[in-house]
Amino acid sequence: MSASPLPRRPDPALLETLRAHIRRLEGQISEDGETAGVWTLGAPEIDDALPWGGLPRAALHEVLGPSGAASGFCAGLLARRTDRGENVLWCRRRHGIYGPGLALFGIEPARLILVRGRRDIDIFWAMEEGLRSRSLAAVLGEVDSLAPTAARRLQLAAETSGVTALLLRPANETAAATPAVTRWQVSPAPGVPRPGRPGMGFPRWCVELARCRSGSAGLPRIHQTSGEARSWLVEWQDGTTRGFAVAADLRHRPAESAAQGVAVRRAV
């Protein structure tokens, strides 16, 4: 009995053509091939790990982690999302936001609308109203717990209006699935002082892409901490081009993250 022939490996070029066709049908890229409805983080290692080459604008994205670290990471996301000077709505239960900290990310106070609610349900209501107004670039809400029905309403409102929704909440290893397109786990990481620049250096985080609703099809093979999770040590750079960057000392070798004890390796 003859042995069965080995299955042929798929043609990478053909797979990429099919993926581009799917993204075009989903409205992620235009007919001329330009990215549409997506904003990038500025770090190719992360953008390339996302099916869209960045984050969809008309969608809900979750960020989980300690308030300080997660707020800083969200501020960077908002800065990348509002590079044309659009306004953003920030909804929270706590008092105030540290203005100089936002200025580090290039977010001007005049572009920020701050809403304070007494309960999570108030935050969800304010977020949904902001999303449906269509006059904002993004809406961010800080909540202590997740209401599945409210999350579905936020995703639907974001898809309808094209306004980005960011939902920030405490880290929870048993967090249930939600309608959010992506979920990010964020924890603080020590900064590295820069030559000629006194202080603690650029802000850094250990960032993990814990969930991606489009699945893992087409994603590059990179180090994974568990399941399909993808991790990076990320820093914010406030130079001429503001954006995230995978920490330079991790680009060419594995390293041990002091904050999470997770090995991080650049995609090969």
pLDDT tens for each residue of 26-64: 444 444 333 469 999 999 999 999 999 999 999 999 999
Give the C-alpha separation, 254 to 264, whole Å: 6
Sketch the domain layout of the chain as residue ranges: 39-264
Average pLDDT, the chain: 77
Task: Name the band, by pLDDT with cuts 50, 70 and 90, for residue 6.
Answer: low
Structure tokens at 247: 């920490």
Ranges of H-type helices in 93-238: 99-104, 120-133, 148-161
Each residue of 75-87: pLDDT tens digit? Answer: 999 999 987 778 9
pLDDT of res. 121: 94
- The pLDDT value recorded for residue 4 is 59
Calpha distance 194→179 (Å, rounded): 40
| Superfamily of domain 39-264 in the CATH hierarchy | P-loop containing nucleotide triphosphate hydrolases (3.40.50.300)
Percent with pLDDT over 90 in the chain: 47
Residue 267 pLDDT exceeds 50: no
Say whether pLDDT at 268 is over 90.
no
Which contiguous run of DSSP H or E holds residue 56?
A: strand 55-56
